[in-house]
Amino acid sequence: MNHDDIKSNVLTTTLESAINWGRKNSLWPMPFGTACCGIEFMAVLAARTDISRFGAEAIRFSPRQSDLLIVAGRISIKMMPVLIRIYEQMPEPKWVISMGACASTGGVFDTYSVIQGIDNFIPVDVYVPGCPPRPEGVVESLMKIQNLIDKEKLSDYTLSSSK
């Protein structure tokens, strides 16, 4: 092989960039859609706003096979243990998008049975405001997650002292 062949057929990069590039372009979302935001999320998957252009077409409803949890809709006190269990079942690395006003802060429902924001109990990466947010807003939040993944380093993940 001479030098010209190597220049045109071989690419060198850092390990972190390669891993981040792979992760961000094949996010597998898991929709946790409860209410009206779930319908707007279905519109994100459908033909006009198409999330599979970002590599996120494989919508798997199993938490063990996905890495992006999208909480769409209001979470009531009966549903919260289910959400916590599903979050704990997802393997690392995982990211969370809180879609809509109800998942982020409780929305219009300041009552006895709606959780006022899932970030009280689960770490959230991106919040999408709106009631419901437009599908373009959800696509923007996916792009923000992709930017966050781009900036990650391998030293970001350390075991906590309790383990």
Partner 1 sequence: MLIEQTLAQIEEKFPNSILENTEFAGEQILHVKGQHILKVLTSLKANGFNFLADLTAIDNLTLGGYERFAVSYHLLCHKTADRLTVKAYVSDKKPSLPSVESLWKTADWQEREVFDLFGIKFKGHPNLVRIMNPDDYDGHPLRKDYPRLGRKERYDFPIVDRGINKQKRTE
Partner 2 sequence: MTRAIEQQLETDRMILNFGPHHPATHGTLRIIMELEGETVVKATPEIGYLHSGFEKLGEDLDFNQYITITDRMNYLSPLCNNVAYALSAEKLMDLEVSKRTEYIRVLMCELSRIADHLLNVGMLAVDLGAMTAFLYGFRVREDIYDLFEIATGTRLTTSYTLVGGLMRDIPEGFDKAVQKVLEEVEDVANDIETLLNKNRIWHDRTKNIGIISKEDAITYGISGPMARASGIDWDIRVNESYSIYEDFDFDVAIALNGDVFDRYLVRMEEIRQSIKICRQSLDRMPTGNVIIDPDFGFSLPPKDEVYNSIEGLIYHFEVTMPNRGMTPPIGEAYVPTESPNGELGYYIVSDGNRTPYRVRTRPPSLMNYSIFSKLIEGHMLSDAPAILGSINVIAGELDR
Question: Could you give the CA distance from residue 100 to residue 24 in angstroms, rounded to a whole number?
Answer: 22
Contact 137, 46 (CB under 8 A): no
Radius of gyration from C-alpha coordinates of the chain: 18
Of 113 and 147, which CB lies nearer to partner 2 in the complex structure?
113
Q: Is 114 helix (H, G, I), strand (E, B) or coil?
A: strand
* CA-wise closest residue to 29 among 69, 65, 73: 69
Contact of residue 158 among partner 2, partner 1, none (CB under 5-8 Å per partner type): partner 1
Nearest distance in Å: CB 46, partner 2: 4
Per-residue contact string for residues 48-87; x = within reach of partner 1 by CB under 8 A? -----------------------------xx-xx--x--x
Residue 80 is encoded by which pair of tokens? Answer: 């919260």
Residues of this chain, 67-86, that bind partner 2 according to CB under 8 A:
73-74, 76, 78-79, 82, 86
Q: Which residues are near partner 1 by CB under 8 A?
A: 77-78, 80-81, 84, 87-88, 92, 110-116, 120-123, 144, 147-148, 151-153, 155-160, 162-163
